[in-house]
Chains A and B, each alone.
Chain A
Amino acid sequence: MHILVVEDETRLREQLRDRLRECGYVVDVAADGEEGLYYGEEYPLDLAIIDIGLPKLSGIDLISRLRAHNKHFPILILTARGNWQDKVDGLETGADDYLVKPFQFEELEARLNALLRRASGWSKPVLDCGPISLDTGKQSITVSGKPVELTAFEYKVLEYLMLHAGEVISKTELTDNLYEQDYDRDSNVLEVFVGRLRRKLDPDNSISPIETLRGRGYRFRLQANSG
């Protein structure tokens, strides 16, 4: 998952970047509105966290420019002044949620998860596909009701595939959303992870949730359970 953080306060920006990376997100940071606009227009983003009071281009202007350029990824605004005028202005311009500074990182993470899930068309925090159930809140997996232990990286791979269930995800897209740009991106490593994930989810090879499409990528094969 590719996240852009636009925040002028250096300390906070770096803290957010580090903690979001720890959670397995790919993070780009921008220190002002214009830089934020550049990233927002040039990179495929899944979400942007935008501070309202930015230098050069205000947060509100940045959001309206991004929306005017048909960028539909979810946007979470951060505001230091918790007044409703700011919140309503931001939400009316095109933001999807707000968080008042200071905030607990856990609160931010919960909001991010909800926004990302919502953007992928899931309305509930638990993704159910056949026997596999992924709880984005607790970041836990059950298969046929039994908990399965995954590493953080395996969880991220599975979450990305399940959020895009039914779509073909190329290896490049998957690595782009799981690694930092300057990271060593060896696709063999990804294959190893997917192989391990398959074994953990489906030890006796009865449901085969993840398909490999030769030369194109992976697809999470199971449909979402209705209801």
Chain B
Amino acid sequence: MHSLHSRLLLAASLVLAGFIGATGLALDKAFHVSAEAAMQNQLQSHIYALLAAANEDENGHMMPPKELPEPRFSEPDSGLYAVITDHENKPLWHSTSLTGRDINVTRQQMPGKRSFSEFTRSGIQLYVLTFGVAWEDYAGTEALYTFTVAEDATGLQTEIDSFRSTLWRWLGSMALVLLLAQGIILHWGLRPLRTVTTDLQQIEKGRADSLDGDYPKELTGLTSSLNSLIEHSKAVQIRYRNSLDDLAHSLKAPLAILQTSQPGDRDRDPDDGQSLLSEQVNRMDDIISHQLQRASVSGRATLAKPVPVGKVVERLVRSLDKVYREKQVAVNLELDAAATFTGDAADLMEILGNLLENAYKYCKHTVLVQVRTDPYTAGVEISIEDDGPGIAADQVETVLQRGKRMDESIPGQGLGLSMANEIIAVYGGQLTFADSSLGGTLLRVTFNEQ
């Protein structure tokens, strides 16, 4: 069941079928009950008519009716029958219609009491009402009689059957109409999803750049997230392409130097104690690691999980403590546990790793790391300071300027800082330098609202 459409349709159809079935049953039952009540009333009025038609003899005893109020009592097998019995349940009289039959449905009944029931006698279904009557003669003696009226149920059954078939026909066509309506509603309701799918396919085929249709507001969250994912991956792609471009270009320079150099030059030690070969090899290594680093920065992704900054700082400090064990660096951490970085954890680690290593390398004994959050902008500020010699202003300039193109390479230090600076820039953050109160450099990274 992988289609939303068939899922909804199946569920709705089941609910609809149950609902319509229950409605039908209830209506059927109600009709049945009311038809029987009407039958009982009708039989009752037959009994009253018989009572009214009964006569008295000279002593005041009851005489069975001669003129029958209802012609069907006089027709044989008419389906309407009447019997009068005495207090011993002996029949005193029966209607002409009952001639030749014995339906034996009489029950002794106390005066004023009645009972309505259904019988099946010799294959005929009958509704039977018995009614007890006390008849006082002139001497004041009461005689007890029971009037029984029975009617063939066939007529009522036919009526019920016809009601039933009409009912189910109506309900059935209603269900069909409802299902059809539901199908149409579903089709219409789910259309935006299909639109998004086709639009995505257009993007896949390269015919569109983003999802920019007019989508219902339930979908705009999804589509705008998709759009930023698409944008993000496009940005990454561009960064890759630019880095590869730069990489190729900037490797050309040292390669050209090596190619044009004389074989003797390559091993000769120049004044700085480095051979031309190893100098250019180092330069190429710097270029490669720098450009690869730039290319692998993810940038701020929309669906990235916030990374706790303090945890990353702690991991790096533990690792650096190990590497710089001999230096016995005293690191003071003031970390705000709530500070998070929205982006790739590896990028944050790269930024902080480079900055922290710089501090470990140049400090005398002490490094201070502070991580703070700005409650107004939800930004994060990370400052790393040391008690080392500090960085000169022109060096700061170099570090921050470096990187765009590595053609004018300065081998050695500063590469880590300039890499960190570039990653920070990708995330829209800032790296600033200041003099630390500890005596060395204060490096401050700020990321604005995330």
Q: Is the CB of A83 within 8 A of B323?
A: no
For B353, list chain A residues within 8 Å (CB): 84, 87-88
Residues of A within 8 A of B289 (CB): 82, 100
Contacts of A98 in B (CB 8 A): 323
A88 contacts B349, CB within 8 Å? yes
Flag whether A226 is at the interface (Cβ < 8 A).
no
Choose, from A10-18, A89-97, A151-159, the stretch at the interface.
A89-97
B349 interface neighbour in A85, A104, A114, Cβ under 8 Å? A85
- Report which B residues bind A (CB closer than 8 A): 278, 281, 285, 289, 292-293, 296, 315-316, 318-319, 322-323, 325-326, 345-346, 349-350, 352-354
- A104 vs B353: C-alpha distance when bound (angstroms): 22
Closest to A103 in B: B285
Structural contact, A88 and B319, CB atoms closer than 8 A: yes
Cβ contact within 8 Å between A85 and B346: yes
How far is the CB of A7 from the nearest CB of chain B, in Å? 18
Complex interface: chain B residues within 8 A of A84 (CB): 316, 346, 349-350, 352-354
- Is the beta-carbon distance between A88 and B326 smaller than 8 angstroms? no
Q: Which of A83, A91, A104 contacts B322 (CB 8 A)?
A: A91
Complex formed: what's the CA distance from A118 to B319 in Å?
A: 16
User: Does A124 sit at the interface, judged by CB under 8 A?
Assistant: yes
Give Cα distance in the complex from A123 to B328, angstroms: 10
- 15 extra interchain contacts, Cβ-Cβ under 8 A, other than A87-B319, A88-B316? A83-B349, A84-B349, A84-B350, A84-B353, A84-B354, A85-B345, A85-B350, A88-B319, A91-B319, A96-B322, A98-B323, A100-B289, A102-B285, A104-B278, A124-B326
Bound-state CA distance A87–B318 (Å) is: 12
Instruction: Write 17 A-B pairs (CB below 8 A) sorted by A numbering.
Output: A82-B289, A83-B293, A83-B296, A83-B350, A84-B316, A84-B349, A84-B353, A85-B345, A85-B350, A88-B319, A88-B353, A91-B319, A92-B315, A92-B318, A97-B322, A102-B285, A114-B326
Point out the residues of chain B lying under 8 angstroms from A114, CB to CB.
326
Question: What number of residue pairs across chains A and B have CB atoms under 8 A from each other?
Answer: 47
User: Which size bracket describes the interface of A in this complex?
Assistant: 10 to 19
* CB neighbours of B285 from chain A (8 A): 102
Question: A125 → chain B, closest Cβ, in Å?
Answer: 8
CB distance from B205 to the nearest CB of A (A): 35
CB distance from A75 to the nearest CB of B (A): 11
* CB under 8 Å from chain B, chain A span 68-88: 81-85, 87-88
| Minimum C-beta distance from A197 to chain B (A) | 28
Chain A residue numbers with a CB within 8 Å of B350 are 83-85
Taking a contact as CB atoms under 8 Å apart, the answer to whether A118 and B325 are in contact is yes
Which single member of A85, A91, A104, A123 contacts B323 (CB below 8 Å)? Answer: A91
Closest Cβ neighbor of A102 among chain B residues: B285
Q: Which residues of A contact B354 (CB under 8 A)?
A: 84
Cβ contacts under 8 Å, A102 to chain B: 281, 285
Cα(A104)–Cα(B318), bound, Å: 26
Q: Please measure, in the bound complex, the distance between the C-alpha atom of A139 and the C-alpha atom of B350, giving whole angstroms.
A: 36
Contacts of A87 in B (CB 8 A): 319, 353
Which residues of A lie under 8 Å from residue B316 when comparing CB positions? 84, 88
Per the bound structure, the CA–CA distance linking A83 and B316 in Å amounts to: 12
On whether the beta carbons of B318 and A97 are closer than 8 Å, the reply is no
Nearest-Cβ distance from residue B315 to partner chain A, whole angstroms: 6
Q: A84-B316, A88-B353 are in contact. Are A123 and B346 (CB under 8 A)?
A: no
Contacts of B345 in A (CB 8 A): 85
Residue of A with least CB distance to B324: A97
Specify the chain A residue showing the minimal Cβ separation from B290.
Answer: A82
